[in-house]
Amino acid sequence: MSGWSVTDGLAVALPRESVDTDQLIPARFMSVSRADGYGPYLLHDMRRDETGVRLTDFPLNRAPKTKILVARRNFGSGSSREAAVFALVDFGIRVVIAPSFGDIFSGNAVNNGLLPLVLPPETVEALLSDLSEAADEMTVDLGRGQVRFRNRVYEFTLPEVWREKLLNGWDDIDLTISRAEAIAAYRDRRMSAAPWVWPEK
């Protein structure tokens, strides 16, 4: 995964609360291999009618080049399915802006280069209102911690871990393996303190 520092692109309004993981990607598509891409399944049942035809008035269908999604509170609540993030990322989305996110979703997002950006509810409502008619250009700048939209600048701060990961596209496994000694030492301690963790059966 490659890192990024600035995302410039179309922002789209999805003025809904609790866009949960089952809506982001319905369970029936989760046996798909990642190599085949998850973009077509993003918000599948919201974007398409019963026969699978895309609804022309749905915001994402009107702006298929969207990079930034703006939604209401509790975005990504629900299951730990990383496929919800795969669907957003494979569609081309790099940033979701909302007043709050599901915790597991946020972690999954950052692990895939997607920024779950928390902004205050009033700011989100203002953005939703500005974007209600049509998608518009927005800039999200990780380095400066800024959202730039029309003539306005919104500041944000991120947990340092997230910022580093998104900027560098780091893979945790490599970072962790560099601590193999500490892990091995802990394992020895754990095994002597709680040997039953390694079952006798």
Partner 1 sequence: MSPLTLFDKLWNAHEITRRSDGSSLLWVDRHLVHEGSHHAFARLAARGAKIAEPQLTYAVVDHYAPTRGRDAIPAGDIRKMIETLECNADLHGLKIFGLKDPDQGIVHVVGPEQGLTLPGMTVNCGDSHTSTHGALGALAFGIGATEVAHVMATQTIWQMRPKVLRITVEGCMRAGVGAKDLALHWIALLGADGARGHAIEYAGSTVRALSMEGRMTLCNLSIEGGARLGMVAPDEATFAYVEGRTYAPKAAHWEQALEIWRALPSDEGAVFDREVEIDAAAIAPTVTWGTSPEEALPITAAIPDPTKLAGTKAERVRDSLEYMGLTAGRPLAGTPVDQVFIGSCTNGRIEDLRLAAAVLAGRKAKVPGMVAPGSTLVKAQAEQEGLDRIFREAGLDWVASGCSMCVGMNGDLVEAGKRCASSTNRNFKGRQGRGARTHLMSPAMVAAAAVTGTLSDVRPLLEGRL
Residue 40 binds partner 1, judged by CB under 8 A: no
Least separation in angstroms between CB 79 and partner 1: 5
Q: Which of 10, 67, 87, 102 binds partner 1 (CB under 8 A)?
A: 102
The answer for residues whose C-beta is within 8 angstroms of residue 201's C-beta and 6 or more apart is: none
Q: What whole-number distance in Å separates Cα of residue 73 and Cα of residue 68?
A: 16
Residue 183 binds partner 1, judged by CB under 8 A: yes
Nearer Cβ to partner 1 (53/194): 194
Q: Which of 59, 164, 168, 169 binds partner 1 (CB under 8 A)?
A: 164
Residue 113 binds partner 1, judged by CB under 8 A: no
Site residues for partner 1, 54-83, by CB under 8 A, read 72-74, 77-83
Residue 53 binds partner 1, judged by CB under 8 A: no
CB 128 within 8 A of CB 13: yes
